Amino acid sequence: MQRVRRLQFKTIEGHTVERDLAAVFLSADGYTGGDNVVVAEPGDLEVLGAHSLESLGLAVDPVQKKLVPLVVALGLSAREK
């Protein structure tokens, strides 16, 4: 893991903390992708955020409580004929 910089974050309780940001490859349920992640320190909760899930092409199905493949929007428009 290569740490690329240190950033400030506001916690849910309203505290400001500094954490390292690192470029990583991650894997979940057989899907692999690259992302920038916040490096947790002792006492921090570990979570996989929406940005990381989207980089894997996954979404959370809250009913079945599992990860499911996501259809990713490219933002392309069809060519006019």
Cα separation of 39 and 64, whole Å? 29
pLDDT more than 70, % of the chain? 91
Stronger pLDDT, 67 or 1, i.e. the higher one: 67
Q: Are 60 and 40 spatial neighbours (Cβ–Cβ below 8 Å)? A: no
Stronger pLDDT, 54 or 73, i.e. the higher one: 54
Please count the CA atoms within 13 angstroms of the CA of 8 that sit on its side-chain side: 4
Measured between its terminal Cα atoms, the distance across the chain in Å is: 48
Cα separation of 11 and 41, whole Å? 13
Alpha helices in the chain (DSSP H): 50-55
